[in-house]
Structures are given as C-alpha cells and as structure tokens.
Structure 1
C-alpha cells in the first residue's frame, strides 16, 4: 500500500491481544462484520493471514507473533504522544504499583519505601512479588511496574535499566562460631560447612568460581532457594552463609558478618521498567523514591 491506513495498527494491536474477532470488535465498539472487513484489509496489507482457524478459535501465525510486540509499542507510543500531560498531585493520587524484587530486597528496603510512599502519597499502595527468575514478561505485559535485580541478557532489549547501588557478598555466621575465633583465611573459609543459595537449583555459586582460582573448594552442606532461608539456617547452626551485603542489612542483625577473604566482583543492582512507563509522572515519582531509599549506605564491614 502506498499510503497505509495507520488506524489499522490499532485494529491489529487489539486483534492480536484478543485473538478473537468478536471480542476485538466489542473492545473497539465495532460490529463483527466491520472487524472482519478490517482483518481482511490487514491481511492484504501484510500479505499474511495473521489469524487462522484452529478448532472453534483463532490462533496467530508466526508473522502475527513477530508483529505483536512491535505493533503494541507503536500504539503505546502514539497514545502517549497524544495524551495530555497533567500535573501530578501526590496527595490525591490513588493507585497501586506492583514491584518484583529478589530475595532480601523487600525485607531490607521495603519498610522505608512503604513509609516514604505513604508520607508523600497516602493513596498509593505497593504490592511486592518475589522474583524466582529473571524473566521480565511481567514488565512487558504490564502486570509488574518495577523490578529490581542484577541485569542480564534475558530481560529483553527494550527494558529500561538504571543502576541503584553496588553490592558485594559477605560471610555471615552466628555469634561464637568457630570461624571467628581466628583470622578468616581463604582456606579456613573453604573448610567450613556452607549454605549454597541458588534460585535455579544450581550446584555452585559465584564464591565457588572465586575459590577455584585459588585452588580451593567449598564444603557445601546444604542448599536453599533464598538468602532469608540461608540466614535462618546459619543462625541456628555452625553453617556459613554468603549473602549480598546491602540487600540483607536488616536480616543480618544479631549475626557476625565479615568480608570474604578473597576478591570477588561487585554486583550492580538495578531498577528495571518497561519504556511504556517512561513518561508517566506517577511512575517517575515511584522510581525516584526507590532510588532515594536505596541511596542510604550501610556502615562498612571489617574482618573480625
């Protein structure tokens, strides 16, 4: 088509989201016959059937699946461009936000974040979800507003990321643990009974890679899926937990924390969101208070 009808993009976006001509027609306030005609025009424009019959329903073609996210982003950008900007009144803001975070983040930063949000915007509610994996599908489909975590290549190229803070692993044991009775060397650390933390059920962690370079191997006694569980075990035993310092600050109260006796790269914990939220004033405010809460630095840890 020399001059494509850009209104068809909205129709295509709804059709791909609903996967049903009747439901798409109802959403766009069109008759089913008008929607069928629009689908015929889309098929002609793209040279692809887009939606094909499968039993009593319709399923998208491979070409439709390729177009789904691209078309959705174009429509969202167009809607954002045409939406009037309103001044944000935090005292009257009535909205819920969903944050997905790694183990330890809520326990350590959640209380301050909730308190600050309530002070500035009493009508805002924060919902926290666990983050068992790095899949950012929730950001893309809108069910999650913000995520925190270490950026990897699995989040998708369109996901926005902004560094919040640098973190590092520290060792944690109960008071009176034999490890603290003398200098903590790489050899003494490796010889202890360790708790492996792995959300994906792996048999080694970053500490093991660092010890490999020294020709040492940790004695792993058990494994858990999160840092909170690791600290609970360490509190009631002679097991050694190795956890991120910043994200477990509150959880480590009552423990002996020590710097690991070998070099390990720091972690960059970032704030993640979908670009559809870039220009939203309320979302910008939320990102701002998360950054402020995470900007408070803990006191340094020295070797006991």
Structure 2
C-alpha cells in the first residue's frame, strides 16, 4: 500500500462516471490538465488504458466497465468511514442499555430523579447501575461501563470527564454522644474520640488524619468499613464518630435526628472538597446517545443538588 495513492480511487470513480476528463475535472474542482495527469497515473497504476478515444468522446475499456460498480462502492464506503454521517437522535425510538457506576451517596440522592428524567425522554432506554468496589478504570476502557460518577483519579489521563458538583465532609455521631455536651466541638475533643472511617482500600488513614497531623493532633481509628452507609450504621449504635460526604445525608433533611438517632456537626479541621465528575472513555465522546446521557446526568445533578 506504500505505493498506492488512495486519492486516485475518487478520481477513478468520477472519471468512469463522466467518461470525460473535462467533466471529471469540473466535478473535482481541478484543471483539465491536472485531471489528465491523474488519468495518466491511473493508467500506470492499473496497467489498463481505462478510457480510450472514440471519435470526439472517451469510452471505457472492458476492464473499466468491469470495475466501475466496485470502484463506486469502494469510494462510497471509504467516504462513509472517513466522514461518518451524524444521525438524528430519536429519543423515543432509542433502544439501548447504559451501564453506570456510582457511589452509594449519588444513588441515594440522584438515582430516582435520573431514572425519571430518562424514562420520560427515552422510554425504551434501560439503565444498569453497577457496583463500585474501587476506582479501577479498566471497565471504562474495555466498555463494561458507559459512564462513571465519582472522584476522578490520576491513573487514566485519556479518560474524559465533566464536573457535576462539589461536596464536603460532615461529621456524624449519635445523639447523646459526649462530643455534644459542649456545643463548641473543639479540635482536642474531636481528636480524642474513637473513629470509624470509610475506605475501599481498607486503609486506616485519610485526609482528616493529614489535617490533624498538621495541627499537631492524632486520632484513633478503631474501625474501617468499605462504604459510608456502613459507617453511619455503626455510629448509630456505638460511641464512635465518623465523617461522610454531605450528599450521603441529603435525603434525610430535617427528620434526620428524629428517625436515625444521629446528629451532624461541622468538622473542626479543614478537608479538601470532593469534586464529583462524570467520566467516560474517549471512544464514546462523539456518540450522540452517550452525549445525551451525559447531559441528562449533568442537568439532573444541577436540579437535584440546587433544590
């Protein structure tokens, strides 16, 4: 293929259709002399005259007649591959399954509104929410996950993302905990508590420990659990305290204390904001169905989290 100029395929298609150097030149926006040189190259490449003089006109050779339809089909297919047509998105007829991976907090707050919005616009679309045991990007790369919602890592620079919202950590302990005996939750009293933390990797140390250490304090982490709901259940029945993203408590509103026996408090240390993004593989970037899904997730997040 090193010695074959595939641009000649388009020229050959037009020449065989027009049976005229002048007509082919006009269609391709070339001069007649340039088109004549192209015909010479085609003759050298194929080893056939292709078009020969018959009076004042050119007529195709038997070989040219034989390949005419094949050349036209090849040209059409090549153009379709290199210049794909952007189809019109028909949401009512869209029949597709999307696989999303998200945290418990997002599912707790946004899954139902997202399903409602999608079913209203595209009733034949199906959603499958996959478990999120870790931040492994392999499911995005191999196509098992269409869209991931969470905190972006640094291990996959090719992954595309769009910021959905920012969240912060909030402290949680049971009502009646000694931490609340004084309304001012001081740093020493907070650090003196025993803690339960959430870590999918099973680590006992996190951003809170880094912040405490910078201020000269250290806490005791007694329990590590894989999910924030697990941490909340433990502090309901023990004297341990925890911290969770505010999003995890969003649906509990004013009845939180009455129904759960828990109370929230502002952490006495500053922790980094949590930037929650939608993430996808670049091969889906231009896909109109996926673009609609991404926009729908973004709009639902804006609506739900601003209310």
- Structure 2 length normalisation: TM-score? 0.68
Contact 1:174 1:234 in 2 (8 A): yes
What CA RMSD, in Å, does the superposition of the two structures yield over aligned residues? 2.3
The match for 1:48 is: none
Instruction: Give per-residue Cα distances to partners, 1:117-155, cap 9 Å, x unaligned.
Output: 11221111111112222211111111110001211211x
**CA separation in 2, counterparts of 1:214 and 1:4?**
70
Give the SS at the match of 2:305.
coil
Higher radius of gyration, 1 or 2: 2
- Answering whether residue 305 of structure 2 is matched by residue 297 of structure 1, we say yes
- After superposition, the Cα gap between the structure-2 partners of 1:98 and 1:251, relative to the gap in structure 1 and judged at 3 Å, is farther
- After superposition, the Cα gap between the structure-2 partners of 1:284 and 1:175, relative to the gap in structure 1 and judged at 3 Å, is same
- Answering whether residue 183 of structure 2 is matched by residue 176 of structure 1, we say no
Q: CA deviation at 1:170?
A: 0.8
**CA separation in 2, counterparts of 1:262 and 1:223?**
20
Give the SS at the match of 2:299.
helix
Q: CA deviation at 1:81?
A: 5.0
- Structure 1 length normalisation: TM-score? 0.69
**CA separation in 2, counterparts of 1:282 and 1:216?**
51
- Answering whether residue 269 of structure 2 is matched by residue 262 of structure 1, we say yes
Contact 1:146 1:271 in 2 (8 A): yes
The match for 1:195 is: 196
Give the SS at the match of 1:100.
strand
The match for 2:59 is: none
Contact 1:228 1:251 in 2 (8 A): no
Give the SS at the match of 2:195.
strand
Q: CA deviation at 1:108?
A: 2.1
Give the SS at the match of 2:92.
helix
Give the SS at the match of 1:90.
coil
Instruction: Give per-residue Cα distances to partners, 1:218-254, cap 9 Å, x unaligned.
Output: 1212110111111111222222121111244236834
**CA separation in 1, counterparts of 2:268 and 2:180?**
12
Contact 1:208 1:217 in 2 (8 A): yes
**CA separation in 1, counterparts of 2:223 and 2:132?**
22
Give the SS at the match of 2:149.
strand
- After superposition, the Cα gap between the structure-2 partners of 1:89 and 1:143, relative to the gap in structure 1 and judged at 3 Å, is same
**CA separation in 2, counterparts of 1:81 and 1:247?**
46
- After superposition, the Cα gap between the structure-2 partners of 1:236 and 1:298, relative to the gap in structure 1 and judged at 3 Å, is farther
Contact 1:107 1:251 in 2 (8 A): no
The match for 1:237 is: 238
Contact 1:108 1:251 in 2 (8 A): no
Give the SS at the match of 2:123.
coil
Instruction: Give per-residue Cα distances to partners, 1:54-98, cap 9 Å, x unaligned.
Output: xxxxxxxxxxxxxxxxxxxxxxxx987543222112122111100
**Structure with the largest fraction of helix:** 2
**CA separation in 2, counterparts of 1:128 and 1:92?**
22
The match for 1:272 is: 279
Residue pairs, 1:3-152, within 5 angstroms: 3=3, 81-152=82-153
Gaps of 5+ in 1: 7-77, 300-304
Give the SS at the match of 1:161.
strand
The match for 1:208 is: 209
Contact 1:246 1:298 in 2 (8 A): no
Contact 1:162 1:270 in 2 (8 A): yes
**CA separation in 1, counterparts of 2:275 and 2:289?**
25
- Answering whether residue 289 of structure 2 is matched by residue 282 of structure 1, we say yes
Contact 2:207 2:272 in 1 (8 A): no
Q: CA deviation at 1:180?
A: 2.1
**CA separation in 2, counterparts of 1:181 and 1:80?**
70
